[in-house]
A and B are shown apart, each in its own frame.
Chain A
Amino acid sequence: MSAGTDKLAVTVTNIVPLNDLVTRFEFQRSDGGELPTFSGGAHTVVEMRDGDITRLNPYSLMSDPMDQSTYAISVRRDDAGRGGSLFMHNRVRVGDRMVISYPVNLFSLDLRARKHLMIAGGIGITPFIAQIKQLAATGGRFELHYAARSAALASYADELTAHHPNNVSIYHDDQAQAIDLVHLLDGQPLGTHLYVCGPKGMIDWVRAKAADLGWPREAVHYEEFLAPQSGKPFEVKLALSNKVIEVGEHQSLLEAIEAAGVDAPYLCRGGACGQCETDVIGYDGKFIHRDHWLDDEEKASGKKIMPCVSRFEGKTLVLDR
C-alpha cells in the first residue's frame, strides 16, 4: 500500500548564488511541457546521480505555486553533511538533466486561518516564500518574522521586504536582534495559525512558548526535515526480499535498501512523515532512533525503525522488507 510519487524529468535552467552558503537552482521540464501547480509549503525530492551513489534529498519549492514554467529550490551548502548539498553546489551545471518528484506537501497552510503568522530561521525561509506568493495571489493575510545570522546570509530578505514592507520583519543574530516571541504570540487575533520552519532549537522554542500561552495544538504547524547523519557501518538482513545489505558510513538505511534494488516507501526522507516506517523482526544491538515519527514507547519497543534517518549499532538486525 505504498502511495509513492511520480517523477518529473527536468533540466537545470538557472543557477543563482545568493550568498556564501545558499544557491538557487531553477528547473524546467525537459520535454518543454508545463510543470504541475502546487500548494505553498510543498517540497520536491531531487535525485542526484553521484557516481555509484543515488542521493535523494527533499527541498522546499520556493517558486510561485501558480507558475507552471519553472520550479525553484534553494540549497544551503553543508560542508559537514553527507554530500547532497555539496553535490548540488559543486557538480550541478546549467543544462544538466535531473529527475525530481511531483510536489508533496507536508507543511500546508490551514486555509481556515484568519491570519497566518510565520516564523522562519535561516534556510527555513524557503517554504514561506511559496506560501506568501500563494497568499498574496488569493488575498490571504500573513505576517512573517525571519531570523538569520547576518544581513549577508538573510537569503531573500530584501526581496520579501520590498514586496511586503508591512508584513515582513527581519532579525539579524549578529546585531543581537531577536524575535520578541511572547509579545508576538500574545498579540494575535483569534483564528491566527502559527507556522515555524528553521533549526530544531527554534522550532522547539516556538512550540513550547505557544503551548505555554494556550495556543491550540491544531493552530501550530512546523516543518523540520532532518538530514540523515553519518555513523558506523552496519549490516541488515531484509527478510522479505531475502537479502543481506551493508549500510555504509555516509549512507542512510533507506538509501542502502534502495541501492540493493528493494522498493521501499518514502515521502519526506527526513523522519517526519511516517511513510517509511518498517517493522523489525529481530535484533541484537541498539537502535539510534532520530525521527520525529515514532513515540518514545515505540522507540523503546525495538519493533519499529524509520530507515530514512535512524541507524543501528550491534550484531544483527532483521527487517520486514
Chain B
Amino acid sequence: MTIQFNDETFRDDYSFHNSDRAIQRFPFPFHEDSYMYSVNMERHKGGPEGSVYEMRFDVDEHYLAEMKDRAMVLAEDPLRCQSLPHMTLAGWDLLELIMVSKSEDYPDLFELHREGSNWRWINRPMGIDQSFVFMDEASLPYGPMEYITRQAQGDFCILDQRDDNLWMDAGMVTTQADWSLDFDIGMNFFEWHAPVPKAHEMGIFVRALKFLLNIQQGSPARRLNWTLTVNPLLDTSPENYHKWGVQKTTLTPENLGRKQHLRVELQTFFRLPRSNALVFPIRCYLIAFEDLVSVPKWGRRLHRVLRDIPDELATYKGFIDNRPMLVDYLSQYDDGAETSPGVWPD
C-alpha cells in the first residue's frame, strides 16, 4: 500500500483535508447515541484491515504535514519536549519500539538494520538515513525520545512507574487538547487528572490507574478520547490559547460545517521493556463536520450525543457556548432513524 501524503497546513490558511479513504477510516468514538466516561480499554493487537487500529503506530496521509507542524511548534517553544534525567533509558525503549514497529508494519516506508549496537534507520517519506549507536546519545542529533518522536505522528508521554503510581516524567507534546507538558511534568496520575470533572467521583481514575499499572510487555492496550476543535488546529495548547481560543467565536451557521472539527485521540499504552516505564502515545485525528455527516450513521449519532451531553462535560471540553449552533447544524442530518450499535459505518 502506498500512501499519498497531503501537502497541507494546520495553521494560517488551514489547508488540512481528509481524503475519502481518510473519512471512511476515521476513528468515530461513539458506540451508542450517548456519551459518559468509562474505562473503555481494549487490547491493542491489530484491528480491521485498513483501520487506524491495524498497525502499532498508524501512518496516514497527514504524516509529513504533521511532522512539519511539530517542527514549527518546537522551534517556537522547546519546552514542548522534555525528559527528566532518569528517563533516558525509556527514551531508547521508545525509539526501539517505534523503529521496530514501523519497519515491520510499513517496510516500503521505513527500514531498520541492526548489527549489535550499530543501527541504521531509513525513513523514506522524510528523506532520513541515519546510522547511530544504540544507547549512545552522542550518535544522534537529539536525545532518543526527541529524535524518534520528531518522526512519529501524535503526542507521546512517557510515564515512570514507581510507588504504585505513574509519573509524567518525559514527553513530546505538540498536538494536545488544551493541556501542557511543561505544567504537568513530574506530576503523578491523580495530580495531572485533577481538572477533569465528574470522573473522580465515579472512581474512574482509581480503576484506570490499576489497569495501567498492570499493562505488561507484549500486551499493549488502547482507548479513544474526544473533544471538539474549531479549525483544524493540531496545537491547541494552553501556551497558545490566546491564538486559538478566540477562533471559537468565529463560528457561524454558514461556516460551521467546514470549520468545526471532531477531534479524536487514539490513546495507546505500551510497557517499555528496558526501563519498565509506560509509554502513552496520544494520536490526534481531525474531521470536519461536513465530512463527518457524509456517513449518515455518524451524523445522526453525533447530533444526539452533543444534544444530550451533561453541561459539565460540554464546559470541560470547551464547546458549551457553541453547543446550540452545533446541535442546530447537526439536526439537519438526524432523521430520527435508529442507529446500529458500534462505531462502524453501516
Binding site for B on A (CB under 8 A): 1, 3-6, 36-39, 41-42, 65-66, 102-105, 108, 110-112, 134, 137-138, 218, 267, 273, 275
Contacts and interface: CB of A to CB of B under 8 A. Distances in A.
B219 A111 contact: no
Contact of B162 (A65, A110, A137): A110
A102 B276 CA distance: 13
B217 A3 contact: no
**Most chain-B CB neighbours within 10 Å: which of A3, A66, A110, A138?**
A3
Cβ-closest 6 pairs across A and B? A3-B214, A6-B218, A111-B86, A39-B276, A108-B276, A102-B218
Interface string B200-226: 000000010001001111110100000
B273 A37 contact: yes
A136 B39 CA distance: 40
B275 A267 contact: no
B89 interface: yes
Given A39-B274, A65-B274, A102-B219, A108 B214 contact: no
Interface in B1-52: 39, 41
B161 interface: yes
Nearest to B117: A66
A103 B271 CA distance: 11
Contact of A1 (B41, B162, B275): B41
Contacts of A137: 135
B163 interface: yes
Given A38-B274, A65-B274, A111-B275, 15 more contacts: A5-B216, A5-B219, A6-B216, A6-B218, A38-B273, A39-B274, A42-B276, A65-B273, A104-B216, A108-B161, A108-B276, A111-B160, A218-B162, A267-B214, A267-B216
A26 B175 CA distance: 46
**Most-contacted residue by chain A among B87, B160, B275 (CB, 10 A):** B275
Contact of B216 (A41, A102, A110): A102
A69 B87 CA distance: 26
Contacts of A37: 273-274
Interface in B169-206: none
A228 to B, nearest CB: 21
Nearest to A42: B276
9 contacts: A1-B39, A4-B216, A5-B218, A6-B217, A42-B276, A65-B274, A138-B89, A267-B216, A275-B214
Contacts of B163: 218
Most buried by A among B86, B87, B89, B217: B217
B215 A102 contact: no
A3 B215 contact: yes
Contacts of A275: 214
Contact of B219 (A1, A3, A138): A3
A4 B214 CA distance: 8
Interface of B: 39, 41, 85-87, 89, 135, 160-163, 207, 211, 214-219, 221, 273-276
B163 to A, nearest CB: 5
Contacts of B86: 111-112
Contacts of B41: 1
A308 to B, nearest CB: 15
B275 A4 contact: no
A39 B216 CA distance: 12
Contacts of A218: 162-163
A39 B277 CA distance: 10
B217 A1 contact: no
Nearest to A265: B214
A157 to B, nearest CB: 27
Contacts of A65: 273-274
Contacts of A6: 216-219
Nearest to A37: B273
B326 to A, nearest CB: 33
Nearest to A108: B276
B242 to A, nearest CB: 36
A92 B273 CA distance: 28
A266 to B, nearest CB: 10
Given A5-B218, A102-B217, A36 B89 contact: no
A4 B274 contact: no
A74 B207 CA distance: 35
Given A1-B39, A112-B86, A105 B219 contact: no
Given A3-B214, A108-B161, A39 B275 contact: yes
A65 B93 CA distance: 13
A301 B21 CA distance: 56
Contacts of A111: 86-87, 89, 160, 275
